[in-house]
Amino acid sequence: MDGWIFIDKPKNITSFKVIQRLRKILNIKKIGHAGTLDPFATGILAIAVGEATKSIHYFNQNKVYKFNVVFGESKDTDDITGKTTDKSNVIPTKEAIDKCLRKFIGKHTQIPPQYSAVKVNGKRAYMLARNKQKFSIQSKDVFIKYLKCVEIKNDSEYCFILECSSGTYVRSIARDMGKMLGTFAYVSELRRVKIGKIEEKDIILLDKFEELVHIGDHFEVMHSIRDVLDDIPAVLIDQELSLKFQNGLSFKYSSKKSENDYLLIETEKKFVGIGKALEGKIKPVRVFNL
């Protein structure tokens, strides 16, 4: 049980609840996820099991979201689950929205929502917000590769497609879009449709996965660590160097291109771990016991 599972997260359930359920289904302790989805959101939840939990930090792929934004109203959570805080009669046209979207493309600075898991002085922002405490969240740099308005749902609701770096808050984009257009806005629907090369065709419903576990067919829908991290360059080594690497020892390696980059280290038979090229050597960063 060392690999990745890509679950289609249901609506109105936290990402943590999905983890809890899978831990019980699989009877396994080592399990974690890469990239939380809000309870109201659906779509791809990337879950690492067993030794794969060591690779979560390196699974840093762009994410694609499909989401709806309602203009003319703001929520304290910046999404449909929150309480209304302001209203406006100003509803932007699609032309105005399209013009506004250009300002988001590329390196973009955003402030995470007040109701988020960001830590403020050691405490989660959403806990402080629930307790009506006043606080400020530091802005962060994210990268927006693609953002487009693809459909008019009704007079005040529009549908968007977004491709962004890991750690981007869609709710912040909606909130900021509203401000830029002289009104208010919140996310009414949100679905993660892609992470790196993983698309909706590669995911499985939670209930369906549970059925497969009961009959022992769940291994067929699991992805290997090697497969999930295939965007990282690989270095093939022999058995002797493999033993050296697994014991925490560096070995000589010359490549200007890979200096300071992470590298997948593997033999012809198995995936060994993740190393880093430094000063003509590959230094072990993570060793996997597979």
What's 239's domain CATH number? 2.30.130.60
Phi/psi-derived region of residue 196, left when phi > 0, alpha when psi is between -120 and 50, beta in every other case: left
Confidence at residue 258, expressed as pLDDT on a 0 to 100 scale:
59
Does one domain contain both 74 and 186? yes
58-61 long-range contacts, Cβ below 8 Å, gap at least 24? 58/229, 58/232, 58/262, 58/274, 58/286, 59/4, 59/34, 59/196, 59/228, 59/229, 60/166, 61/166, 61/195, 61/196, 61/197, 61/198, 61/231
Active site residues: 38
Burial class (CB in 10 A: 0-12, 13-18, 19+), 220: exposed
- Domain around 217: 3-60+197-227
Does one domain contain both 143 and 168? yes
Percent of the chain with pLDDT over 70: 98
- Among the listed ranges 37-51, 59-73, 217-231, which one has the minimum average pLDDT value? 217-231
Confidence at residue 149, expressed as pLDDT on a 0 to 100 scale:
97
Does one domain contain both 188 and 75? yes
Does one domain contain both 153 and 237? no
Query: What are the two backbone dihedrals, phi and then psi, of residue 85, each rounded to the nearest 5 degrees?
Result: -110, -30
For residue 101, what are the CA distances in angstroms to 144, 148, 158, 171, 258?
10, 7, 13, 15, 35
Q: Return the structure tokens found at 48.
A: 């690492």
* 187-202 average pLDDT score: 95
When divided into structural domains, the chain yields a total of: 3
Confidence at residue 260, expressed as pLDDT on a 0 to 100 scale:
57
* 13-22 average pLDDT score: 94
pLDDT interval class at 163 (50, 70, 90)? very high
pTM of the model: 0.90
pLDDT in tens, 242-260: 999 999 998 888 766 655 5
Does one domain contain both 217 and 277? no
Residue 92, SS3 per DSSP? coil
CA–CA separation, 52 vs 98, rounded Å?
A: 41
Residue with tokens 């629930």: 130
Q: Indicate if the pLDDT at residue 18 is higher than 70.
A: yes
Give the CATH number for residue 119. 3.30.2350.10
| Helix 206-215, helix 15-26: angle, nearest 10 | 10
What mean pLDDT is reported for the chain? Answer: 92
Confidence at residue 255, expressed as pLDDT on a 0 to 100 scale:
66
pLDDT interval class at 40 (50, 70, 90)? very high
- Among the listed ranges 175-184, 188-197, 233-242, which one has the minimum average pLDDT value? 233-242
Does one domain contain both 81 and 185? yes
Identity of residue 172:
S
Does one domain contain both 125 and 22? no
Confidence at residue 169, expressed as pLDDT on a 0 to 100 scale:
94
Does one domain contain both 136 and 177? yes
